[in-house]
């Protein structure tokens, strides 16, 4: 049985891609600011990259017109 709608996972992928790009962009911007933290883990860069990668995976894997 074939579903004629668009998978919810595609929209989740788009959303994760957008959030990941925004967080990663802010993390890269933070690198230009004077350091205020004790430890320099750059969590926004890591989490932004993880969200971006997950979003791209879901967006490509469940894109409309692609047979799963």
| Cα–Cα distance for residue pair 19/14, rounded to 1 Å | 9
Predicted local confidence at residue 1, as pLDDT: 46
Structure tokens at 44: 């926004």
pLDDT the model gives residue 37: 63
* Per-residue pLDDT tens over the stretch 25-40: 999 998 888 877 656 7
Structure confidence at residue 45 (pLDDT): 94
Task: Please determine, for residue 23, whether its predicted confidence score (pLDDT) is greater than 70.
Answer: yes
Q: Which two tokens stand for residue 54?
A: 């997950």
The CA–CA distances, whole Å, from 29 to 9, 19, 68 equal: 30, 15, 37
What pLDDT score was predicted for residue 2? 55
Q: Kindly state the percentage of the chain with pLDDT values over 90.
A: 66
């Amino acid at each position: 049985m074939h579903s004629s709608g668009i998978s919810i996972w595609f929209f989740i992928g788009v959303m994760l891609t957008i959030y990941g790009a925004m967080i990663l962009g802010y993390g890269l911007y933070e690198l230009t600011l004077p350091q205020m933290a004790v430890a320099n883990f750059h969590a926004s860069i890591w989490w932004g990259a993880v969200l971006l990668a997950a979003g791209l995976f879901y967006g490509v894997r469940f894109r409309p017109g692609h047979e799963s």
